[in-house]
């Protein structure tokens, strides 16, 4: 069923009791042309684009829990493409362009809100780096605008722009097309569209082993039995290393926990996304009114999907240094998600050294905004058996070849990116 004003009106007349299910819950078939492991935004997008762009419809998405129950539902919903290095800039800009048309593409309102992403600048060195990055973005055809402290003070009155601030603000780099997207709707929209194209979405089906014969994929062992396939795509974020190990691979990835939190809901006070690299903090206000914020990793390997109090304290302290007026608010919820931190801070969207095996992972902090492009390019790589120019640099081999894509120049420490 196509969602529209007419379907809404028709269903209103029957008291909204007869809406069809948005997707089926089939039993797995014995064999698929391609299987995607992971029913988050990335896996569902991969299946959707495989069906839509490449005509493969005998596809399954296997999810061990429920759709979007991992990092798709745990991120802070920010989308942007304000990167410095060419491979990242082109990749994330492709993603942002897909975001801009995604609600129409999927016939599902993902609530893309181009409210802008503002990176605050706190020092002359910070300013040099920001202007350099802004110039690199503009040379790559991406919008970027440098704002003075006075511009920012006029726009965001509750941000402490005074010289007495703990970390005085001297300016900011703004990407106006950046903003937020409702993350659950991304999983649901892709699931519904993929299902309509014939993709089997199988929840409560955990992959427990990968069967390989003579260096080629034969299928997967799951909690619902063996399923045969020649093409297997891994899109499991924080568990990339865990699933790749089933194929005998070690990855240049460590799993770390990243926390996020929301305040109680309040009336509109902040109409953009504000971030600060200096204090390691980002904040926006959800449509429900909660202030959504986050900061650093907890800085130790973790699969726990929850973190510890010192990091929460750090995030809240950074929040109050920038927005003193938020000090009266209550924190309503905190949670954690598992980041697949690569050794250079950039993703891996590539064929792996087993025939028929691919992955899209290593998302570090940045997986949500990459969702559409990750799915699009992962699907291309699976269908064509070769990478697209936009993901050609995001190989697994780049680490051995010395072709790192290290945006921050932080070096091979997974938790430093």
Which residues form the interface with another protein (CB under 8 A)?
239, 241-242, 245, 250-255, 299-304, 308-310, 343, 399-400, 412-415
C-beta neighbour count of 355 within 10 angstroms:
15
Q: How far is the CB of 269 from another protein (least distance, A)?
A: 31
Q: How far is the CB of 300 from another protein (least distance, A)?
A: 5
How is residue 58 written in tokens?
């005998």
Q: How far is the CB of 301 from another protein (least distance, A)?
A: 5
Closer residue to another protein (CB): 61 or 338: 338
Q: How far is the CB of 154 from another protein (least distance, A)?
A: 38
Q: Answer whether 82's CB lies under 8 Å from 119's CB.
A: yes
Rg from Cα positions in the chain: 21
Q: How far is the CB of 365 from another protein (least distance, A)?
A: 17
d(CA 11, CA 84): 48
Closer residue to another protein (CB): 194 or 343: 343
d(CA 119, CA 1): 41
Q: How far is the CB of 342 from another protein (least distance, A)?
A: 9
Closer residue to another protein (CB): 290 or 296: 296
Closer residue to another protein (CB): 181 or 257: 257
H or E element in which residue 296 lies: strand 291-301
Closer residue to another protein (CB): 183 or 256: 256
Q: How far is the CB of 40 from another protein (least distance, A)?
A: 18
CA distances from 314 to 167, 209, 321, 360 (A): 14, 40, 11, 31
Closer residue to another protein (CB): 168 or 310: 310
Surface-to-core class of residue 416, CB atoms within 10 Å of its CB (0-12 exposed, 13-18 middle, 19+ buried): middle
- In terms of Cα–Cα distance, which of 112, 125, 122, 126 is closest to 152? 122
b or e along 259-282 (b: 16 or more beta carbons within 10 Å of the residue's beta carbon)?
Answer: bbbbbeeeeeebebbbbbebbebb
Closer residue to another protein (CB): 144 or 251: 251
Q: How far is the CB of 254 from another protein (least distance, A)?
A: 5
Closer residue to another protein (CB): 140 or 301: 301
d(CA 371, CA 29): 27
CA distances from 396 to 22, 89, 243, 381 (A): 36, 19, 15, 14
Q: How far is the CB of 336 from another protein (least distance, A)?
A: 11
b or e along 233-258 (b: 16 or more beta carbons within 10 Å of the residue's beta carbon)?
Answer: bbbbbbbbbbbbebbebebbbbbbbb
d(CA 168, CA 123): 8
Closer residue to another protein (CB): 1 or 304: 304
Q: How far is the CB of 393 from another protein (least distance, A)?
A: 17
Give the list of residues 6+ apart from residue 55 with CB closer than 8 angstroms, or none: none
Closer residue to another protein (CB): 147 or 414: 414
| 3-state SS assignment for residue 13 | helix
């Amino acid at each position: 069923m196509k969602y529209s004003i007419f379907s809404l009106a028709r269903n209103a007349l029957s008291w909204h009791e007869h809406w069809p299910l948005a997707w089926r819950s089939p039993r797995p078939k014995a064999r698929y042309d391609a299987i995607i492991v992971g029913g988050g935004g990335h896996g569902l997008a991969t299946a959707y684009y495989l069906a839509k762009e490449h005509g493969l419809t005998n596809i399954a998405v296997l999810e061990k829990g429920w759709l979007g129950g991992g990092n798709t539902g745990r991120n802070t919903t920010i989308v942007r493409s304000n990167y410095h290095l060419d491979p990242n800039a082109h990749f994330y800009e492709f993603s942002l362009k897909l975001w801009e048309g995604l609600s129409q593409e999927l016939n599902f309102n993902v609530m893309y809100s181009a409210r802008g992403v503002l990176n605050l600048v706190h020092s002359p060195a910070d300013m040099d780096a920001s202007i350099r990055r802004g110039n690199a973005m503009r040379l790559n055809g991406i919008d970027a605008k440098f704002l003075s402290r006075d511009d920012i003070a006029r726009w965001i009155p509750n941000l402490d722009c005074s010289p007495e601030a703990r970390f005085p603000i001297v300016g900011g780099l703004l990407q106006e097309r950046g903003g937020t997207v409702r993350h659950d709707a991304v999983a649901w929209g892709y699931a519904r569209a993929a299902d309509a194209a014939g993709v089997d979405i199988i929840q409560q089906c955990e992959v427990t082993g990968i069967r390989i014969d003579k260096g080629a994929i034969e299928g997967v062992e799951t909690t619902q039995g063996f399923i045969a396939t020649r093409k297997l795509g891994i899109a499991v974020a924080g568990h990339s290393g865990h699933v790749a190990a089933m194929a005998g691979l070690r990855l240049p990835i460590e799993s770390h926990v990243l926390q996020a939190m929301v305040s109680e809901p309040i009336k509109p006070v902040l109409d953009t996304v504000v971030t600060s690299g200096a204090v390691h903090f980002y904040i926006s206000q959800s449509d429900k009114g909660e202030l959504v914020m986050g900061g650093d990793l907890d800085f130790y390997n973790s699969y726990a999907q929850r973190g510890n109090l010192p990091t929460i304290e750090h995030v809240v302290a950074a929040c109050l240094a920038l927005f003193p007026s938020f000090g009266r608010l209550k924190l309503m919820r905190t949670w954690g998600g598992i980041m697949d931190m690569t050794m250079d801070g950039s993703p891996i969207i590539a064929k792996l050294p087993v025939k028929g095996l691919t992955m899209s992972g290593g998302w570090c902090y940045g997986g949500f905004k990459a969702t559409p492009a990750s799915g699009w390019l992962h699907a291309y790589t699976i269908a064509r058996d070769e990478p697209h120019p936009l993901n050609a640099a995001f190989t697994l081999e780049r680490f051995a070849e010395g072709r790192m894509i290290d945006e921050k120049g932080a070096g091979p420490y997974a938790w430093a990116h």
